[in-house]
Structure 1
Amino acid sequence: MKPLKPAKPVAPTGPDRPLDPYLPQSGNRGYLVSRYELDLTYKVIANRLDGRATIIATTTDVRAKYTLDLAQAMRVTKVALNGRRPSKFTHRNDKLTVTSSQTVPVGAVLTFTIQYSGTPTPRHTMWGEVGWEELDEGSLVASQPNGAPTWFPCDDHPGSKATYRVSITTDAPFHAISNGTLLRKTTKASRTTWVYEQPEPMSTYLASVQIGNYEVRKVASSPVPQFAVHPPRLRAKFDKDFGRQPQMIEVFTRLFGPYPFSHYTALVTDDDLEIPIESQGMSVFGANFCSGNRDEERLVAHELAHQWFGNSLTLKRWKDIWLHEGFACYAEWLWAENSGGPSAHEHARHAHTRLARLPQDILLGDPGPKDMFDDRIYKRGALTLHALRLRLGDERFFTLLRTWTAEHRHSNVTTEQLTDLATRFTDQSLRPLWDAWLGATALPPLPNGRLS
């Protein structure tokens, strides 16, 4: 008798099937979060975090239990659901499961109140360490793609956007920075409390807390307020390396549409970092990116561009990561083109030559979780946009980008939405272009064409 062939894996179905096959353990069904209110106390020397999270959501189906993402390093001491105390809960395998004592109908409000504490540590993932990380003096958060549960209970999926209030109490010598606007700062004895409000919807991986011995100053007022946060020793180097940021915002506002938030903060840690960190309304760079020689200006442009592509417009599923990184990489080329550097077409030719020498085994439109942060995604995504620009011409291409950011401001997007939108800007079919650049592994030739 012939041996049976192993069955092909079948995607789980049912009410608790994964929200995203790239991160099947992240995210939860049964509700949609609209608001996080986090009251945090952090002891820097001990690396101790105590938290109280109030999470307001709306039910999407009827169920007896609800789950949230929370790392096991955080010990839960008390849970209340809709004010009923105490609620039964279990905390296993980075999932906090809360049992409802009564049936909650669809469309009703859920309010979780969770008290927890522990020693926050980053997650070890195939993409490196992500989440809350202890620094020599202070801490940082780098949550992309699944590090948010290392410091607060949440529905950890990019399609779950909510507003935030974050209160951080920490040792008085240290400065605490979070997303949004600083509402108030109070100091009692040796501790300072900082309260921030983030009114625009934000995905969990973009939520951030940065703590350190920082100098904070306003460096520009136009076209939006811009703030510098850095160790005092790096002030002169920051002013050189980030000095053209106001001009960048002006260029990107002209090309992409209005800046999507009330202000922008560039923060430099006292520690070196492998790569800059993206968060909503703020970008975080290691001291190694602040040399005073302006040799990392392309990264300053890249992280700034994420405020449009990644923060305001956030992917709905991780397979579409090129919508973040391809756009931000292309913004590097556009900044160079608009600031006296090489043209985007020159950058595209060089990038295409380099990619042609690399393995042709990555699918831009669905790279798989292991490769979704591969540098080829960044460069090939930028080349895809350049190919589209050559096809449409500048006027229609940049009108398309401004329409894209306006119609999907502060929401979630997919590749299909972008390709559908592009059909409005040409009478010719763009399907061959999308099939070649997004749907095939072989690198297409760079189209011949002139930028108008």
Structure 2
Amino acid sequence: MDRKLLPAAIIFVWVLLTGCSSVARNQATPAITSTPIPEQPYSTMSSQPSHGLAGGDSIGDAYIPSIGNTGYDVLQYDLDIQFSGSIDAITATVTVSSVVTLDDLGRFSLDFTGYQVDSVQAGNQYVPFFRDAGKLYIDLPKALSKGEQLVTRVAYHGPAIPQDSQFINLGGLGFHVIEGNNLTYAFGEPDGAHAWFPCNDHPLDKAEYRFSLTVPKGFTAVANGTLLQTTSKDDRQVFNWLAKDPMVTYLATVVVGKYERLDKPAVGEVKIRHYVLEGDFNYSDKLNDTRDILEYYSDLIGPYPFSEFGFIIIRTSDDVAQFAEETQTIVMVDRGYMLSESAVGVLAHELAHHWFGDSVSLANWNEVWLKEGMATYLMVRWLDHQGYVGLQALMADLENVLVTNAANLNQPLNQPLPSTMYGPNTYDKGAWVYYMLSQQMGEPAFTTFLREYYKRFADGNASTVEVQELAEEVSGLDLSTFFQEWVYGSGNPDLHVSWATLPEGVAVQVCQAGGGQVFSVPLEIKLAAADGTSQQEVIPLDEGQEQVTYSVPFTVTELQVDPDQKLLAGTTVSQVDALSACAP
């Protein structure tokens, strides 16, 4: 077979399956009884469909309103993708099996950008279709009732080219072809799954996935879930994968390259398999940490959510560590990370996402801190557990990244700028919020919260509001001030601490500087003598200026702020002859 694309057409088919509780498998494609209709100009699309009502072309995410659609709920995606001989172009047919959620549905939309769309078929006839701003609009030949099932089949073709995203700077989202490395992979977070397959591209709509991937012999095609079978015909191979557990669109991936599979001993019932670049075992020993990480998280949070897990190594360019992605059950990790000292932390972070991010997914994209902050926090917990680095030292490192560059903290945690959506605020401050929440709740209650967080929202979605409500339910505390200051507010405490010795003790003043938000937080201080004697105190902060006096049975020679690293704050400490008012 030569390297030209196979001929392709777009086919959409709706099928009513009354009385069925699940989507039928291997349905026969109905006979075509009309002539294909080419794409129609969007300007000619009527405001209302000929039959029934139109589903919405936004799912209602205020942060990324352009993605997601309403009127239906996807149950399954079936992706049949054929790669060209040079694996830089595709011919694909995608079947989207859905249930109608809007009574009298006559028009619906899918997220889809790029590629050549040739025709749309509904039932046994072709119908007009329209494209605009990343949407594919389809008018059905008859309106469907709420609860009826709708199966659409989509075929398309074109070069495997990524599409731009304002939220992430990795050369775009969709398929990436790494010339010279015999590698093509799909990457879709946050808003780019529809850059390589038509879908309802929002975390609120999870579905099952099936993949049939045809590649030239000598290449391996990897996707999410379980490899069902591999077949060969002439100079081609077909890899069939099934991801049965609910999955959001951005976590779906396909990787084609020269790979070797490493099967490892199972962890309980969980099958472990990794894919490494052919003949490249320079980092394979680092993959051995997978078992310990998985067992630790399972004990801490609850059973691993899926039946299989593994890492697949991606080589971008020059072995620079560029990205890792929690693609469900088969995590993509840049080879540059695997060759770096950061490898163990990256593996722990991405594996943690399978509880928080993959199983418990976001409800809205502005709340990306929920998953990235949690994965960073759990990574820190694991590194401390294994003795790589102590918990306090790790939290201090994260704090240093944040407070040494105030711009990191300028935006509320739940409303990042598009350019900083995946910046230190989301990861490092997010981890600090969970860490400080554990201090507020106490470790036993926080562990209960962590387990209930996963258990309650597994296979679904969680919002910041729901997480706060759960933390309050478990702890019995009113955490409204905590969440208002640390999640909905911006910045962090900027504390100027001064102290002066007294005849029988010490006077301490804390000024919250900057004229910005005043935080209500407990501040621990340690008063120390030259011989090592010490006394620890807690100053409740809730105003811009606090003064306290302590009786101390020794001469204080040093004052330490937050000695046990419990508070995210920038601090300066100075000894003075006498306290004076805080600067305005």
How is 1:234-249 mapped onto 2 (pairs within 5 angstroms)? 234-235=280-281, 237-249=282-294
2:15 aligned partner: none
- 1:57-100 superposed Cα distances (whole Å, 9 cap, x missing partner): 1122234321111112x11223233x332232123332211111
Q: Pick which of 206-215 and 113-122 moved more.
A: 113-122
Work out whether residues 275 and 311 of structure 2, in 8 Å CA contact, stay in contact via their aligned partners in 1: yes
How far off its partner does 1:172 sit?
Answer: 1.1
The 1:86–1:228 alpha-carbon spacing in structure 2 relative to 1, beyond 3 Å, is: same
How far off its partner does 1:226 sit?
Answer: 1.3
- Which of 32, 52, 56 is matched with 2:97 structurally? 56
Equivalent residue of 1:221, what SS? strand
Equivalent residue of 2:150, what SS? strand
1:415 aligned partner: 464
The 1:117–1:394 alpha-carbon spacing in structure 2 relative to 1, beyond 3 Å, is: same
Q: Output the amino acid matched with 1:427.
A: G
1:315 aligns with 2:362: yes
- Which of 158, 169, 194 is matched with 1:149 structurally? 194
2:142 aligned partner: 102
1:131 aligns with 2:178: no
Q: Output the amino acid matched with 1:75.
A: Q
User: Sequence identity of aligned pairs in percent?
Assistant: 27
- Which of 478, 489, 507 is matched with 1:440 structurally? 489
How far off its partner does 1:385 sit?
Answer: 0.5
CA distance in 2 between counterparts of 1:122 and 1:295 reads 27
- 1:73-130 superposed Cα distances (whole Å, 9 cap, x missing partner): x11223233x332232123332211111111112221111111111121111221211
CA distance in 1 between counterparts of 2:460 and 2:380 reads 26
The 1:448–1:218 alpha-carbon spacing in structure 2 relative to 1, beyond 3 Å, is: farther
Equivalent residue of 1:225, what SS? strand
- 1:237-291 superposed Cα distances (whole Å, 9 cap, x missing partner): 2322222121011111111111111011101124345111221112111221222
- 1:207-238 superposed Cα distances (whole Å, 9 cap, x missing partner): 10011000012123114221110113322x23
Unaligned runs of 5+ in 1: 1-13
CA distance in 1 between counterparts of 2:296 and 2:106 reads 51
1:185 aligned partner: 230
How far off its partner does 1:448 sit?
Answer: 5.4
Work out whether residues 217 and 229 of structure 1, in 8 Å CA contact, stay in contact via their aligned partners in 2: yes
Work out whether residues 78 and 211 of structure 2, in 8 Å CA contact, stay in contact via their aligned partners in 1: yes
- 1:335-364 superposed Cα distances (whole Å, 9 cap, x missing partner): 111101333233223322331222231110
Work out whether residues 68 and 155 of structure 1, in 8 Å CA contact, stay in contact via their aligned partners in 2: yes
1:381 aligned partner: 430
The 1:46–1:294 alpha-carbon spacing in structure 2 relative to 1, beyond 3 Å, is: closer
How is 1:37-48 mapped onto 2 (pairs within 5 angstroms)? 37-45=78-86, 47-48=88-89
Q: Output the amino acid matched with 1:96.
A: L
Work out whether residues 437 and 444 of structure 1, in 8 Å CA contact, stay in contact via their aligned partners in 2: no
How is 1:268-307 mapped onto 2 (pairs within 5 angstroms)? 268-272=313-317, 274-291=322-339, 294-307=341-354
2:404 aligned partner: 357
Q: Pick which of 223-232 and 208-217 moved more.
A: 223-232
Greater helix share, 1 or 2? 1
Work out whether residues 225 and 329 of structure 2, in 8 Å CA contact, stay in contact via their aligned partners in 1: yes
1:229 aligns with 2:275: yes
TM-score between the two structures when normalised by the length of structure 1: 0.91
Q: Output the amino acid matched with 1:170.
A: V
How far off its partner does 1:451 sit?
Answer: 11
Work out whether residues 65 and 100 of structure 1, in 8 Å CA contact, stay in contact via their aligned partners in 2: yes
Q: Pick which of 23-32 and 246-255 moved more.
A: 23-32
CA distance in 2 between counterparts of 1:286 and 1:354 reads 23
How far off its partner does 1:367 sit?
Answer: 1.8
Unaligned runs of 5+ in 2: 1-54, 495-520, 525-563, 567-584
Work out whether residues 225 and 243 of structure 2, in 8 Å CA contact, stay in contact via their aligned partners in 1: yes
2:6 aligned partner: none
Larger Rg: 2
Q: Output the amino acid matched with 2:140.
A: S
2:528 aligned partner: none
Equivalent residue of 1:279, what SS? coil
How far off its partner does 1:141 sit?
Answer: 1.0
Q: Pick which of 168-177 and 105-114 moved more.
A: 105-114
CA RMSD of aligned residues (A): 2.0
Q: Output the amino acid matched with 1:241.
A: K
- Which of 304, 326, 336 is matched with 2:373 structurally? 326
Equivalent residue of 1:25, what SS? coil
How far off its partner does 1:395 sit?
Answer: 1.6
Work out whether residues 234 and 290 of structure 1, in 8 Å CA contact, stay in contact via their aligned partners in 2: no
Work out whether residues 436 and 444 of structure 1, in 8 Å CA contact, stay in contact via their aligned partners in 2: no
1:118 aligns with 2:158: yes
The 1:164–1:15 alpha-carbon spacing in structure 2 relative to 1, beyond 3 Å, is: closer
Work out whether residues 63 and 366 of structure 2, in 8 Å CA contact, stay in contact via their aligned partners in 1: yes
Work out whether residues 87 and 184 of structure 2, in 8 Å CA contact, stay in contact via their aligned partners in 1: no
- Which of 71, 76, 82 is matched with 1:30 structurally? 71
Equivalent residue of 2:99, what SS? strand
1:3 aligned partner: none
Equivalent residue of 2:283, what SS? helix
CA distance in 2 between counterparts of 1:29 and 1:415 reads 23
Work out whether residues 326 and 353 of structure 2, in 8 Å CA contact, stay in contact via their aligned partners in 1: yes
Work out whether residues 230 and 270 of structure 1, in 8 Å CA contact, stay in contact via their aligned partners in 2: no
How far off its partner does 1:196 sit?
Answer: 0.7
Q: Output the amino acid matched with 1:328.
A: A
- Runs (4+) off by over 6 Å: 449-452
CA distance in 2 between counterparts of 1:366 and 1:268 reads 32
The 1:269–1:57 alpha-carbon spacing in structure 2 relative to 1, beyond 3 Å, is: same
Q: Output the amino acid matched with 2:358.
A: N
CA distance in 1 between counterparts of 2:285 and 2:345 reads 14
CA distance in 2 between counterparts of 1:432 and 1:295 reads 35
Q: Output the amino acid matched with 1:380.
A: K
How far off its partner does 1:46 sit?
Answer: 5.7
The 1:250–1:49 alpha-carbon spacing in structure 2 relative to 1, beyond 3 Å, is: same
Work out whether residues 393 and 451 of structure 1, in 8 Å CA contact, stay in contact via their aligned partners in 2: no
Q: Output the amino acid matched with 1:255.
A: L
Work out whether residues 58 and 68 of structure 2, in 8 Å CA contact, stay in contact via their aligned partners in 1: no
CA distance in 1 between counterparts of 2:292 and 2:522 reads 30
The 1:444–1:386 alpha-carbon spacing in structure 2 relative to 1, beyond 3 Å, is: farther
How far off its partner does 1:15 sit?
Answer: 4.5
How far off its partner does 1:173 sit?
Answer: 0.7
Equivalent residue of 1:324, what SS? helix
The 1:231–1:447 alpha-carbon spacing in structure 2 relative to 1, beyond 3 Å, is: farther
Aligned residues, how many?
435
How is 1:197-212 mapped onto 2 (pairs within 5 angstroms)? 197-212=242-257
Equivalent residue of 2:310, what SS? strand
